[in-house]
Structure 1
């Protein structure tokens, strides 16, 4: 890097171009965004087993297109004739296997089957739907082409009646979510990069220094997209993974770039000792960058390890989505560390003289942050009490956390796909199918007796009891009991019914299936695995911080403070998105719950970022303490030297996450708010107040370790 910086930079430029090209499908491969999936998070469990039985029967090897016709008099004979004509013509299209219309079902418009497809269930309404079942088409293009044909056919057949025709399907919803993700990603980057650049111009006092972390961030985006493309061939990647992992890489690269550039300028300024900029020898620049990599590089590696460990905790969970985000997140952390250790130092060497031209003075030993630390030294106990109380108060709403797994609700309320599906749910409440389904390994007659004996919530009803056409895995033909519950598939009546059906089993095997059942499996699995994930992350973090500090007190304290601050950030997410505060300001409509993946994402990513700033601060304090500074002096000077970096880095990361809050997908807004508040709380209340206050209160006990562990640190500890 110091000897051949140009080669390093050119290599990274080529890698960046290749990364963007690969993610964009320039090499004949699918675009990354075309390979993404969207749906409820799943785990192995009863819901998945039941769905597999249905799939094995051959009953799920199809897709549906729902065509909605509005603005007509359903009772008019002319409308009926046009609808019958449309159903016949649609049925003749290649790929269509079945057409369901209220005008072609046995019994006519007054039949129960027709009522499900009439607006408000009434034969005197002004609208109806036609449900078209099509083959499980191989790709999206074929599905959309057939969907356009179906819609055009219905529109042509009903044109004489002045009808308004709209259509949609699950694939349309998935495409809308994926498309919105791509737009949100561009929006977030379009806000985060230029605003971060402007902030860094203020921090560094120049364009060159400010541009170095930004160039590193662009490299991280390319690396993140390329690595995610690779992962998409190994596992199904959800749309959430791309945004969350990309923004993590962006934030880390800006953080690490800021740290490396600041430390390089400090090292070079110390060596230049008043020399004119033009007379600084190349050897001095190379020596300064070597020292920077040794010191700041060590901090970056430690920080990267703590973030990677935190994300590695996601691999403990059963959900493929969580495993995918964890694995992809770790790979992006590696990219961010490599950028900070290679590309940014090379840029520092190339722009060394320009970095010292103005606004590059070292932070003095005394300043705003040292005065803050001295003030904290005078009142450690009151500060700990006040700040801890505030954080616990913010965390309190998290005790009322309610999880959900949204579909169309992820999209903005004005999105055509959401308007379509929300309208269907309101005008055709039964059309969406059963809220809860029981897959019963029993003959039809036995399943019917079981259904008749069910105690359903008020307003609930059994829609039908049928036998699957094909054999299930056991070789028998399972029966299906489909149940409609008031309030919708994820409201409390449906959740209570799932619990009841699972607790009260009949003599034969049953599997409860549906959105509420899948959510229960996911949340149960999450809570079951959470202690193991926490133990793994906590143990690894404690070991790393011990190797860094030689203390057992500092790592434990850091862990406890992070838990409190993360609880506060999760409480804020509940206040904003579950309780509905700031709906107008942030541009969303609350669904009365938080997306089921958010707690894990906020805790895992938030913990990693919090430890990031802990390492930034501790590395300076430990360095000073090892040089003979007393505990209090090390804290004061360490906070003074690292405070500007920590607050600047945190501000930049908050800007990055806030840029993504400006997007439209609800789950991305929730993630952005959760992580932005986690970083803001940690970098202010925790790092600037609680850490110095607790270190003051503990004094030399901060550095305590048992004799055997001190010997272990002397042998294996990582010091400069």
Structure 2
């Protein structure tokens, strides 16, 4: 009986080949839907909800919206600036009045208040007791500020920002003959600007990633048709995923970073999965098998590994739901969708394409052959080098194990110094209203958009509490520029603390934590619930949530990886080794990311300080994706070694054969994935750059130092203990039952015993 004849994946592959015309038609329709829906999808992109579910800042927002309705559930600052006119000039007065008249009636605007102006000795006409204490904040006589209360959820507010920005700026310019300009500042406007920058980067990233991946495949495979097959599978997977997102865009809104991540992951794993299956298919053809027998064998062996890899990635992404920040739920759903679609394409579309193009897979034009010889040498020569390296490594495993481990641990040393936060992205957002406004306020009153709100709730119609001790304690804090208070006369008192820095500053985050843990508990009136909110509190909650849940996610992924690998590899030692290897690669990648991206410099374009902060979602998502992808390479390498070991029982020969059989494919696949994620470096957004860099570097480390050196060296050192598994009643039987009948030649415990 030929290999894989009774395997379910092999039967599925034959079925896809038999009805390949229908398969091609179905995937073509899915891809066309994706192409047609892409413009609509890009037009509906918005940032996901930035609130942390159940957080203190979320509760504070609800309290402000209910107790102080004119302030809405989000507050923005309108910055009005003129290089020529003072804010008290009649021209500037006309611009202010025009801005209020134009912005006030718009949907989502609940209230507008003019803040104190430099040079205007008259008290402000509205909320005098609250706003006059803030007067010392302002020093620029050419700038005026409006406090704007906004309502609506995050997506609705972001969708409104472009129109609101256009209306207020047009009104101020018209009223001042172009002398006064207006800029809306706040988390909502910043998020909307980042979304636009990410969308503009998307096309540039794809123009780098796709041609680079095709070039790598051409050089590595030296066969144009074979090089295009993985790209075809990846393209069909990504387009089908985007088409699905376009159809459900009203239910599941996507953001720019998710689209970029879906494209990078879909391109990478789509090419990887197709490449491994195709190489096994070509290997079977070279042995003399006919196309149907070859596709059965490839699907039953490498195809099964692809399914395992996809399942591991899917389960790893489930860990992101542990984080209460909505961005992680969106990332999890989007990533899991593209993984599932890619896996389906690998077991349905790929077999049909391979069999249909069988006679063209090995076609090589003379120019490509010469290029391959220049870059890689002849097949025999390359195989000979790999054989010599394998023999050398098998004879000297300890020196290489020690040297590589020490090098990776040294690279990981900076990892504990990683500082999370939100960079101003001044270079990426240069010349946008939000960055122009930030630059103006940074010179004048940087903390005006970072106000920390301490809310004291009390029974309705009870006396206003004495908050003087709290105000005095806040004034004494070195990071507080001004304090004030506001009472609604019924049941809520708000104490406002304006920091000395922009909301993205780490000093402001530290101030929020200090207020929550020390100042408010000590100096707030006793017996009243205290809730701390505001934009700076939101950032603090995000950082707290991501850092706290990091270890939950790490524990989930490690436990999952260990359990799945025990079942798939029928070993306890190999999964433990795989986890340690992945931790080494991830730690080294994070350490190098800190060295490259975490530095404080002043951006020459805007003048804003770049504090070298790394987006808080980057380490968590990178960890999950990296562990999933590194498990792919572990499975492809070790299952090939296992296949040989089950047949021979010779550990050293099995490691050598497995390494020689998969080294080129793993290296090529890793380079392609690294190209896909490395293409994010062309983005101007530091968060995307650090995300792409971390994954690309880790993949290169994993596919070279880990898979080609550490894994085979350690397997040679451990010998027959590689395949040790407890002999608990029923354990070996339940574990071994996961293998298909066509792959299992003998039980692993028996093979080990025979050694």
* TM-score class normalised by the smaller sequence: 0.7 to 0.9
Deviation at 1:331, TM superposition (A): 1.9
Structure 1 residues 34-92: Cα deviation after superposition (integer angstroms, max 9, x where no partner): 24215756242222222221223323157657253322241775545544664675478
C-alpha contact (below 8 Å) 1:195/1:655 kept by paired residues: yes
Cα distance in structure 1, aligned partners of 2:663 and 2:602: 31
Structure 1 residues 554-576: Cα deviation after superposition (integer angstroms, max 9, x where no partner): 11110111111111111112111
Structure 1 residues 197-251: Cα deviation after superposition (integer angstroms, max 9, x where no partner): 1111122222211111111111122133234446754456443322223311111
Q: CA 1:559–1:293 in structure 2 vs 1: closer, same or farther (change >3 Å)?
A: same
Structure 1 residues 638-689: Cα deviation after superposition (integer angstroms, max 9, x where no partner): 1111000000001111111111221122211111011111111111111111
1:472 corresponds to which residue? Answer: none
Q: Say whether 1:460 aligns with 2:480.
A: yes
Structure 1 residues 142-174: Cα deviation after superposition (integer angstroms, max 9, x where no partner): 654454333222212212xx7252433445433
Cα distance in structure 2, aligned partners of 1:374 and 1:603: 33
Report the 3-state secondary structure (helix = DSSP H, G, I; strand = E; otherwise coil) of the residue aligned with 2:352. Answer: helix
Structure 1 residues without counterparts, runs of 5 or longer: 26-30, 273-283, 470-475
1:303 corresponds to which residue? Answer: 309
C-alpha contact (below 8 Å) 1:631/1:700 kept by paired residues: yes
C-alpha contact (below 8 Å) 1:440/1:447 kept by paired residues: no
Deviation at 1:362, TM superposition (A): 8.2
Deviation at 1:398, TM superposition (A): 0.9
TM-score by length of 1: 0.87
Cα distance in structure 1, aligned partners of 2:101 and 2:547: 52
Cα distance in structure 1, aligned partners of 2:582 and 2:18: 40
Deviation at 1:317, TM superposition (A): 2.3
Cα distance in structure 2, aligned partners of 1:293 and 1:222: 24
Q: CA 1:41–1:641 in structure 2 vs 1: closer, same or farther (change >3 Å)?
A: farther
1:621 corresponds to which residue? Answer: 641
TM-score by length of 2: 0.83
2:291 corresponds to which residue? Answer: 285
Pairing partner for 1:607 from 620, 623, 627? 627
Cα distance in structure 2, aligned partners of 1:551 and 1:299: 16
Deviation at 1:540, TM superposition (A): 2.4
1:157 corresponds to which residue? Answer: 175
1:710 corresponds to which residue? Answer: 732
Q: CA 1:84–1:679 in structure 2 vs 1: closer, same or farther (change >3 Å)?
A: closer
Q: Say whether 1:383 aligns with 2:383.
A: no
Pairing partner for 2:78 from 55, 66, 75? 66
Report the 3-state secondary structure (helix = DSSP H, G, I; strand = E; otherwise coil) of the residue aligned with 1:707. Answer: coil
Structure 2 residues without counterparts, runs of 5 or longer: 1-15, 373-377, 744-755
Cα distance in structure 2, aligned partners of 1:456 and 1:211: 66
C-alpha contact (below 8 Å) 1:38/1:174 kept by paired residues: no
Cα distance in structure 2, aligned partners of 1:433 and 1:207: 56
Q: Say whether 1:206 aligns with 2:234.
A: no
C-alpha contact (below 8 Å) 2:453/2:533 kept by paired residues: yes
C-alpha contact (below 8 Å) 1:40/1:405 kept by paired residues: no
State which drifts further: 11-20 or 531-540.
531-540
Q: CA 1:464–1:134 in structure 2 vs 1: closer, same or farther (change >3 Å)?
A: same
Q: Say whether 1:329 aligns with 2:335.
A: yes
Pairing partner for 1:398 from 392, 415, 431? 415
C-alpha contact (below 8 Å) 2:281/2:294 kept by paired residues: yes
1:11 corresponds to which residue? Answer: 26
Compute the RMSD of aligned alpha carbons: 3.4
Deviation at 1:336, TM superposition (A): 1.1
C-alpha contact (below 8 Å) 2:455/2:492 kept by paired residues: yes
State which drifts further: 636-645 or 57-66.
57-66
Pairing partner for 1:422 from 438, 448, 458? 438
Q: CA 1:620–1:530 in structure 2 vs 1: closer, same or farther (change >3 Å)?
A: same
1:28 corresponds to which residue? Answer: none
Cα distance in structure 1, aligned partners of 2:283 and 2:381: 11
2:56 corresponds to which residue? Answer: 46
Q: CA 1:569–1:62 in structure 2 vs 1: closer, same or farther (change >3 Å)?
A: closer
C-alpha contact (below 8 Å) 1:38/1:238 kept by paired residues: yes
1:412 corresponds to which residue? Answer: 428
C-alpha contact (below 8 Å) 1:401/1:574 kept by paired residues: yes
C-alpha contact (below 8 Å) 1:73/1:79 kept by paired residues: yes
Cα distance in structure 1, aligned partners of 2:539 and 2:698: 26
Matches within 5 A, 1:300-699: 300-358=306-364, 366-406=383-423, 408-409=424-425, 412=428, 414-429=430-445, 432-442=448-458, 444-454=464-474, 456-468=476-488, 477-504=491-518, 505=521, 506=524, 507=526, 508-579=528-599, 590-628=610-648, 630-699=650-719
Q: CA 1:126–1:424 in structure 2 vs 1: closer, same or farther (change >3 Å)?
A: closer
State which drifts further: 263-272 or 330-339.
263-272
Cα distance in structure 1, aligned partners of 2:657 and 2:204: 40
State which drifts further: 147-156 or 604-613.
147-156
Cα distance in structure 1, aligned partners of 2:225 and 2:732: 44
Q: CA 1:213–1:582 in structure 2 vs 1: closer, same or farther (change >3 Å)?
A: farther
Structure 1 residues 323-346: Cα deviation after superposition (integer angstroms, max 9, x where no partner): 221222122111111111111221
Deviation at 1:17, TM superposition (A): 0.9
Report the 3-state secondary structure (helix = DSSP H, G, I; strand = E; otherwise coil) of the residue aligned with 1:409. Answer: coil
Cα distance in structure 1, aligned partners of 2:132 and 2:228: 64
C-alpha contact (below 8 Å) 1:303/1:615 kept by paired residues: yes
